[in-house]
Structure 1
Amino acid sequence: MKDLKFEQKKSLSRLEAADLLSAIAAALRHGDGAELDFGPGTVSLRIPEELRSEIEIEVGDGQLELEVELKWPVPPAGTESPRPAAGSQDESSPD
């Protein structure tokens, strides 16, 4: 059994798909406490520095399928991910 599952299927224009991927990219850059807006609700995620990825492209039945999968461990309930020490600079901050 999964602790949480969110699934959304809908048709998108190419520009809407690009906007969705840009929002996911921004959440990945933000990392800890990143939020993704999925229409009627928002999903908050804690994204660590290191992820496992899988990219799959399948062609068949007159369709091309591009699947991008990102995985990372979820900390046990009641624990929080480590936060940068006070005064440390994260990668998204200008120098």
Structure 2
Amino acid sequence: MAFLYLAGGLLIWFHCFPLDHDGFSCHKRNHVTFLAVVLYLLVSQEAVDIGVWGEWERTERKVRTKWIRQTILVKVENTSEQLKKAFDSIYAHKKNRSDING
């Protein structure tokens, strides 16, 4: 899309330049038009870049947050399973000792 705007600006620029009958005014008018088109393209492209960058950053943050949450949940689940196994083994060991000691 930006290429089309640039091509249109160049077309306006070079269309009037050879038909410069009234001196400098036609060239000057098209020079200003061309610069306005280029400025518009730069500003609009910057806005697109900022929008795309912002969207990418938000998406990355969401993915990173989701990954961190999943990692924490997995660690908590693993830890709780390990704690359960440890308490079960301690309980079983105490039960075995109490059974042996009678």
> Given the two structures, how large is their TM-score scaled by the length of structure 2?
0.22
Higher Cα Rg, which structure: 2
Q: Which has the higher helix share?
A: 2
User: Whose relative contact order is higher, 1 or 2, with alpha carbons under 8 Å and at least 6 apart?
Assistant: 2
> Scaled by the length of structure 1, what TM-score is found?
0.24
